[in-house]
Amino acid sequence: MKKIALLGIVLVVTAGVWADARPPVPQTPAAVDEIVYARPFSLETGYQFQWNAEKPLVREGYVLVLKVDPALAVTRQALEPVLYVGQQTAERVSVSEASGHIVAIVPGPVDKLDLTQTPVWFGTPALPEQVNSTQIAAENVQAAKAGIVPFDKPVVERALANGGARLRVADYSELRRQLADVIEQYSPQEKDLINGLRAPRVE
């Protein structure tokens, strides 16, 4: 019993040290530093977007690479600042505080998402899958009050040039597999994620 009790104390202390090692959550709303890569994508078979309470069907959207404050990219065992792109929540595929880059999927019709008119920011810490359109609208208001504005046109044009032509793939699984190359370029520290995305699919 003493050994079990001591083990419990060690685990609690270790967890406390780990939690204390995490930097505090930055104040939000918090702007993204830069959009460095933007590539539109289309899917032959759509999927239900899980990073939104309303779970819209996704057939197209953007893959973005965002340069961010590393403190906003920290993986936490608690609520995290939600990444917003205009009227959408974004799926964080890759999160690396070491690289300071986030690779994200943003759903929605590409012809209606003008990145020169769309702010990108981190909002109130929450679970993205519980965020609905009413909350998104409220977060947009808070972002505007905080002075968060869209990126300048030259920044967006450079990001689109880095992204290149529209990516056309079969489905969500293939989209994620294609992102391995993007993550390797902008966040090479995430070797396990990269290898996992490239692993053969099991039918």
Structure tokens at 46: 């759509």
Report CA torsion sign: 20, 97, 76, 196. negative
**Domain boundaries along the sequence of the chain:** 26-198
Q: What is the pLDDT of residues 88-126, one digit of tens each?
A: 999 999 877 778 999 999 999 999 999 999 999 999 999
For residue 201, the model assigns a pLDDT of 75
For residue 203, the model assigns a pLDDT of 62
Q: In what order do the strands lie in the sheet with 57-67?
A: 91-96, 101-107, 57-67, 34-48, 167-169
